[in-house]
Copies of this chain bind each other. A is one copy, B any other.
Amino acid sequence: MGGDLDRSMRRPTMRHVARLANVSLGTVSRVINNNPSVRRDVRERVQKAMEELCYLPDAAAQSMRSLATMSVGCMVPDIGNPLFATTVSMAEQVLHSAGYTMILSSSQYSSEREREILSLFRRRRVDGILCTIGREDDAEVLSILRNSGIALVMVDRTADLDADSVGTDHFDSALQATSYLLTLGHSRIGLITVTDQVRTGRERLQGFMQAHHNAGVAFEQRLTALRGFSAEYGYRTAYEWLIGSEAPTALLAGANQMAGVLKAVRALNLKVPEDISLISFGDTDLAELNTPPLTVVRWSTEGVGRTAAVVLLSRMRGTAGEARLNLISPVELIVRRSCAQPKP
């Protein structure tokens, strides 16, 4: 049995299974696809043959006929970043449970790589795409996304295209954090976050401005830094501000940048919260275990990943309805001990 198989150095195919079980190709196919119109004894014979040969259907051949690859592409700027990693992780779990395979690629914040990755997704004929792009105004990337004809869910981004999106309420996040600091009496607050070419940065800036407006405090343009996503950027910015005159008395920063901010604060031997108040966007072990524990704005990155996957699934299955979904997770200010009134 399976004699010619050994010689051909190839994996077993439906043909081998059919021969061994003494049925036709069609019947094997029906068994594979759980078509009910197969007699029970025949089905069992086929299944036995499949096991005996360790047969597994070839995904490429299947998708070639069925026009569905059961795969989704996932593109993020950097999978090494814990925020993206947890989101992707949850999305992958949900998709995997639904039978989908995830193809993952990091763009490293490069527009060229984004285009490359998206064309790869097209070549692979993925059934859906989950993506967080580096810049929301990247015409070329948006155009590819628009014309791909593939189900698409934007994660934590909004752009000028007809796609679902799942994200976080960064506006409220900055609004709450800033208002809290303003209430404490701060009037020189610095904001360090990602570029305003993505929603995350833009909304944080808007929330920041709105809070100032609400409190009737003029915000200082020079104390907004929206040009970098790295800890290094957080360090440089905080350091410069803090050694300058008219230094801020409080700092808001993304979780990533906050690691750098903390280093700068240490380097300058400043005390938190006596000399400087700190709030992080995004909760981390670092924030929770810092001395003192950092006040943060928290949301569920897991929830975002899970929701994004669920939305994509319903879109791929065509059960999502006409209207685009635009889901925003709420955020919560967790007051710990990194904020105090500014020194008089």
Contact = CB atoms under 8 A, between A and B. Distances in A.
Contacts of A124: 59-60, 101
Contact of A57 (B56, B60, B106, B123): B123
Interface of A: 54, 56-61, 63-64, 69, 71, 78-82, 85-86, 88-90, 92-93, 96, 101-106, 108, 117, 119-120, 122-125, 147, 231, 259, 262-263, 266, 285-286, 289-291
Contacts of A56: 119, 122-123
Contacts of A289: 259, 262-263, 266, 286, 290
Interface of A is mostly: helix
How many copies of this chain are found per oligomer? 2
A288 to B, nearest CB: 8
B58 A125 contact: yes
Please indicate which of the listed interface residues A85, A86, A231 has the most CB atoms of chain B within 10 Å of its own CB: A85
A61 B59 contact: no
A262 B285 CA distance: 10
Contacts of A60: 59-61, 63-64, 69, 124-125
Contacts of A120: 101
Nearest to A67: B10
Contact of A259 (B54, B80, B85, B285): B285
A106 B79 contact: no
B101 A101 contact: no
Nearest to A262: B289
Contact of A58 (B58, B119, B123, B266): B123
Given A56-B122, A59-B125, A290-B289, A79 B89 contact: yes
Nearest to A90: B80
Contacts of A88: 79-80
A105 B89 CA distance: 8
Contact of A106 (B58, B64, B71, B93): B93
3 cross-chain pairs, A with B, having the tightest CB-CB distances, nearest first:
A80-B89, A291-B291, A85-B85
A134 to B, nearest CB: 15
A258 to B, nearest CB: 9
A80 B78 CA distance: 13
A81 to B, nearest CB: 8
Contacts of A63: 60
Contact of A82 (B85, B231, B263): B85
A8 to B, nearest CB: 12
21 contacts: A54-B147, A56-B122, A58-B123, A59-B123, A60-B60, A79-B85, A79-B89, A80-B86, A81-B85, A82-B82, A92-B105, A93-B108, A96-B117, A101-B105, A101-B120, A102-B103, A102-B105, A103-B103, A259-B289, A266-B289, A289-B290
